[in-house]
Every structure is written in C-alpha cells, then in structure tokens.
Amino acid sequence: MEKININVQSEIGELESVIIHTPGAEVENMTPENAARALYSDILNLSVALPEYNEFKAVLEKVARVFDVKDLLNDILENEKVKASLISRICRYEASEDICSLIGNLSDEELAAQLIQGVEMQKDTLTKYLDNERFSLHPLPNFFFTRDASFAMNNKVIISQMASKVRERETLIMEAIFDYHPAFSTQTVNPVKRFDKSGKGTIEGGDVLIAREDVFLSGISGRTSSQGIDALLEYMKTKPGTKHLILQELPYQPESFIHLDMVFTFLDKDKCMIFEPLILNSSRHLTIHIVVEDNKVVQIKEEKNMLDALKKLGIDLKPVLCGGKHDTYIMEREQWQSGANFFAIAPGKVIGYGRNTYTMEALNQNGFEIIKARDVIRNKVDIASYDKYAITIEGDELSRGGGGARCMTMPVSRKAVDW
C-alpha cells in the first residue's frame, strides 16, 4: 500500500483523502437520561440519520479517497502490541476495573466495534447489579464528528485535548491510527500534553482552520481554552519562519457556537461563509492576531474582525451570510442548524445542509450552483462541468447532532491552492 503523506495547507485545496466515521449503534445507545453527558441536547434516530449520512459519504467517495475510522481501527488491532497498548491506555484513562481482560479476548472486529459502540457492564457482582449504568465503557456518539479529536496541520496530525472526558477515547483511537496504520506517513503531536503545565489546556479540531500554510485561525471557546491556544503556540514556535494565528472569542451560549467552524468556514479563495452577528457585528467578543517568528511570539494585538485581519495578510474574502442578510431571526435559526458549517472539496466547491434554504439562496446569489447530493450520486449532474457549486445533503436528523459537513470530516491530504 502506498502511504499517504499528510498534507493540509488550506481549508479549500482539492480534497484527496479524508477520514470519516459512519454513525452506528453508539448513537442508538444514547438515552434521554445520558444524552447530556454525551454532549447532546437531543437523541438521534439512527434509522433516519444513517441514510442522510450515507448520502454525504457517497458524495465524498465521488471526489476523494475515503477512510472510515472503524475500518482503520480494525486494521491496527491486528497488531497484538498495538492492541494491547491501546486497551491499556483506554482502561487506564477510564479506570474501568476488570474491563481490560474482558475486551482483550474479543476478536479484532468485535473489539473495534465495542470501543466505539460501548462495552456493556457485566452484572456479575451485587454492586454492578445495583448500578444504573448500562456500560463499563460508554459509547462514543460524537465520533462521527471526526473533525474534533485530531486535525491535520500542514504535514503533522495534531491530537486534540478534548474539553469533556467523555470524548477523550476518540483521541486515543485517532492517535493510534496515525501512529500505526500503514496507510499514513506522518507524526502525531499533542501540544497540550507536551506543553501545557496549567492542567487547563483544551483544544478541539472544530475550532482550528487553516487559511494558508502560514495563517491559522482558532476559536477561543467552551471547547478550546486560552491555555490550549498557548500550547499550540509553543508547538508553532518549533517551526521555522513567520506564522500567524488569528483568534476569535466565541460565546459559551448558545451551544451552537461550540466551535469556530459553526460561525465561519472557507468557501473559495475569495469567499467565506459567516454568521454575521458574531463575526462582523459583535463588540463583546475579541478578535486577536498573534505573530510567531521562528521561536518567538513577536506580536499580540486586537483586530477589528477576522476578515479585516485576514485582508492585511493578503487573504481578501467576501463574506456570504448564513441565513441571508435581511432577518436576524433567520440567521440565528440557520446557524443553529449548522448553516455556516461548510466543507470544501475544492476551491468554490462545497458541501452543506440543504435545509438551510436562505443560506443556499445567498450562495446562489454569489455564483454557486446549488446541486442536490442525490443527483450527484445518481450521475444526473456532472459536477465537473461547474466552476462553483454547493452540494446539498439531507440533514434534518443529522443536524440535530449539532454539526455539519465540516464537523463530519477529517481531511488528511489536499492539493496545493494556486493563490
């Protein structure tokens, strides 16, 4: 197998390879009682969400090489040393009593499934019998948002430090995949574990966007702390040259603002999708520009807004407004439904939820042909004949999980952009 070199120098370069995770039983293992612990405000109906997701996956398979987390995990578990190490790390982190010996005897395929779907508690003692918990290892219903647990940054894979312990197993699995799977040639870096001494550092992939190989954006959010950003800065200091980090403070409420990519995503070399009330019209949330030259931070200053800061660096973007530009209530509704969360498969070629009709209308007014995913899958439309387009996926159920097309993808290689 020819190894894939990790290479992501932008948000919009033509997509070559991407990792996803098809949602499964872990989603159905949520109940109203444990949904909040799993960071959901609702529970999803897998029988409805899965066809929507499969449509999304089929579009990606049309344009790139697509890997599924469960398959990759199954592959690395064939190595007994990797298997033992991963089980040990998970059990040590989650302190699951005698669970290690139990799952260590499973087949590779069954182990891969249970590490994601959850391991049911063996009710073989009185204490366990009286315990209301169903699982010794909890399901990972957020894993289909593969953006968060790890993200490619230039030629390395950054392993996240999740804000909630319930998602930490996702990072352990992704780190093992990149460290040991023969398909990938890369090094993993966990900046928080390496550099943070405060114990407060967190960083998640949904907050980090790559504008250009030397320009990075991040949210300062409920999921990514200032200490996590400081750890990322320490990592950036290990790289030569001048690097720019543009930061946007995000409100902690509502929960639809969890990551920067819920209010800002790149669409093209000269266009981006924004939630205007926050990105352009908020006086309460700072935009900060940090410049790193070689191994030193040489500047930290406040900027007017993200677009203004990017323009000063030669990235001049016209904003397309999530929800259109006439009604704040519509903007808020469509942002809540991940209306700003687009995933670019090439410059000017993006995927998003079709349910956000005002957002799609705004894209169309900015030169994007609106194309239904099912027409792409059935070859009714030749997307190669369009310069700019937005492929719309069904997302009535998926969007209730609190994320969109960018959230559900972890690109590992993109072609260079001809700026």
Residue-level pLDDT at 401: 83
Q: How far, in Å, CA of 20 to CA of 23, rounded?
A: 9
Residue that has been written with the tokens 């290892």 in this structure: 137
Does this model's pTM top 0.85? My answer is: yes
Query: Other CB atoms closer than 10 Å to residue 42's CB: what's the count?
Result: 12
The helix/strand/coil state of 279 is helix
Number of domains in the chain: 1
The side-by-side arrangement of strands in the sheet containing 349-353 is 343-346, 349-353, 389-393, 369-372
**8: domain CATH number?**
3.75.10.10
Q: How far, in Å, CA of 321 to CA of 363, rounded?
A: 8
Q: In Å, what is the CA distance from 86 to each residue of 81, 92, 100, 118, 144?
A: 9, 10, 10, 15, 20
SS (H, E, C) 333-362: HHHHCCCCCCEEEECCEEEEECCCHHHHHH
Query: Residue 370 domain-assigned?
Result: yes
- pLDDT tens digits for range 129-159: 888 888 888 899 999 999 999 999 999 999 9
Whether 317 contacts 310, CB under 8 Å: yes
- pLDDT tens digits for range 339-389: 999 999 999 999 999 999 999 999 999 999 999 999 999 999 999 999 999
Q: How far, in Å, CA of 10 to CA of 152, rounded?
A: 10
Burial class (CB in 10 A: 0-12, 13-18, 19+), 374: middle
Query: Residue 419 domain-assigned?
Result: no
- pLDDT tens digits for range 91-115: 888 866 577 778 888 999 999 999 9
Q: Residue 290 sits in which domain range?
A: 4-414
Q: What residues contact residue 128 under an 8 Å CB cut-off, 6+ apart?
A: 121, 122
Portion of the chain with pLDDT greater than 70, in percent: 95
More confident residue, 77 or 419: 77
